[in-house]
Amino acid sequence: MNFFEHQDKARQNTQQLLGLFALSIVVMILAIYIAALFLLRLAPRIWWEPQIFLCIASGTIIAIAIGSLYKIFCLREGGRVIAQELGGRYLVADMANPQEKQLLNIVEEMAIASGIPVPEVYILDAEMGINAFAAGFTLNDAVIGVTRGTLLSLNRDELQGVIGHEFSHILNGDMRLNLRLVGLLHGILFIYLTGELLWRLRGTESREEKGPPLWAFGVALMLIGWIGLICGRIIKAAVSRQREFLADASAVQFTRNPDGIASVFEKLQRSDSRLISPRAEASSHMFFGNPLNPSFWEAMLSTHPPLSERIRRVRGLNTRNLAASPSVRRSSTPDSLAMGFAGGSPTITPEQVVNQVGSVAPEHFAHAQALLSKLPEALRLGVREQQSAMAIAFALALEVENTPVQERQLAWLREVQPSEIVEQTLTFKDEISQIDPGLRLPLIDLVVPALRKSSAKECHRLCKCIQGLIVATGSFSLWHFILQLVLWHRLQPLIDPTATIKVEFTSIEDIWSDSITVLSAIARVGQSKPDDIAYAFRSGVFRLPGAGKQEKADTPVTCNFSQVKKSIERLRLASPKLKQAIVDACAHTVLLDNQVTNSEADLLRAIAMTLDCPIPPFLDSQRRAIKAKS
């Protein structure tokens, strides 16, 4: 399956999750009803009392709803909530030891190679077992947590395999499903917690009261809570087990090194993956390995497959077959891709671009390592510190070739920012002017983790300042549009945590005009002659589903950047299948002449990023490879 099919599968799993959740509520209502009949001494004479059943059903549903809604509200800030509940410490680069710096480097390399923002990294210092997890609602609020034992026990290849496994959960949509599962199942656990409270109040009851003691009902609720706990385990096992096998295979695909992750599993057989945190039960399905104490029930209802089976499957993977299989054939060799994007033999096709979405291949990973090594030391260190990251973002908005315009921008910046940030901006401006233009877009993703340390108000002010720098130029360039589009998209979960993205459009008719607007913009960026623009535009339009049934569009529409941004925001609400068609149409428009300019590559990737369809930076890497050969 490709990225879009995984997203559809994740949506189906969400529906399955809701069905299992509803079924578990029915089981718990029946269990509480039967317990109440015995406590009221009606059973076994009477088994049906509508009023009692209605009271219990409504009360149970309300209690579970309160518990679930409360937890969902607590999780609104994304994966960092889970990391902090588990005792995680946010990993700051300046305070990291060599092992922690190695972890940060691997996460950064994997993020750039897959085209997603760098996730925040948390260390579970109190946990000595080998384990890790990924959590978040979207690519933009994802976090990765790693136990102290993982850092102490694994070498770089093994750690890379673990991180590749977690990135698979991020890219395949498992992460969002897992976080929803935590919120829903907390409501079921709420029944058990209520029973425990009643049990603790047993000493406060009056001995003169007649009828069953309140603590007895508390014990019954605790027992019923165990039923809910078992139901929760069944739900988590049903959702998680096959996804773990897929993530293992994806980790091998990303690294082409099955020995790395297999070696981790073998170490787990000899050591431990358990967590001491009492919160481990609620999030057990998120982890790389089983974080719970082994038991009979755990073996029956484990959220993770047996280690022996995971080792057998990973050891049995042939990396050559992986490269040729449909589910993994997402990247060709660097040379073949380069020829297609540099005007040589057209070996790269739009279908291959679509298959690259949400993918990581060894060549992408190697490119990410090369990219980070080419960044000047000042930028390399600056992206990890909050104030420096802000200065880098401002520097990216400065006009490079027009000195008077740049001076006007800096004069405006001095009015709204402290002199220290302005001086840093000047320093980073000189560094950025020396790097390859193809590195600017990955540089945005590198500054995002540091910018996320800011408050929502500070992030909003940052975006306003960048807008002010752009307005000071007196014009609006394509790069400025891309910078604003990507940066706002990456920071949106922090600026507006309540904003949710739900599928609203499942038919191309609903977003036809928006698709036309976006394709018009891409055609104009890639071509200069009117006939060539029209031909590239039609090439993309004909790739849209049902193009023959829609209003005929022979020439691109006139549009400005504001209209393009609004259209992209609407396309973001389309179903995964429609997004696949849109990315395919955009790729056809770009690849019509077998040439990809910097502007085309940046715009195509920016559009895909905003649609939450991450494209690795292979366009840039292959173009630079051909440039070097020539």
Q: Name the residues annotated as catalytic.
A: 166
Residue 89 β-bridge partners: 123
Tokens for 440? 């600017």
Q: Where are the beta strands (DSSP E) in 38-135?
A: 89-90, 120-124, 132-135
Report CA-CA distances (Å) from 386 to 19, 135, 390, 451.
Answer: 44, 23, 6, 6
d(CA 616, CA 604): 11
d(CA 518, CA 537): 10
- Tell me if 616 sits within 8 A of 359, measured CB to CB: yes
SS (H, E, C) 241-262: HHHHHHHHHHHHHHHCCHHHHH
Tokens for 148? 């102290």
**Cα torsion through 48, 66, 134, 264, rounded to 10:** -40
Report CA-CA distances (Å) from 570 to 7, 259, 505, 607.
Answer: 18, 44, 9, 12
Report CA-CA distances (Å) from 248 to 169, 235, 509.
Answer: 10, 21, 39
The residue type at 480 = H
Note the maximum CA span of the chain.
Answer: 96
Do strands 120-124 and 143-147 pair parallel, antiparallel, or not at all (unpaired)?
parallel
d(CA 105, CA 185): 35
Residue 122 β-bridge partners: 90, 145
d(CA 97, CA 2): 37
Query: 3-class SS at 418?
Result: coil
d(CA 450, CA 190): 36
- Tell me if 562 sits within 8 A of 401, measured CB to CB: no
d(CA 360, CA 355): 11
Handedness of CA 149, 152, 158, 164 (dihedral sign): positive
Of 365, 367, 360, nearest to 165 (Cα)? 360
H/E run at residue 145: strand 143-147
Report CA-CA distances (Å) from 239 to 20, 68, 69, 158.
Answer: 10, 18, 21, 26
Residue 132 β-bridge partners: 146
The residue type at 604 = L
Of 140, 113, 618, nearest to 360 (Cα)? 113
What is the phi/psi pair of residue 147, to 5°?
-75, 155
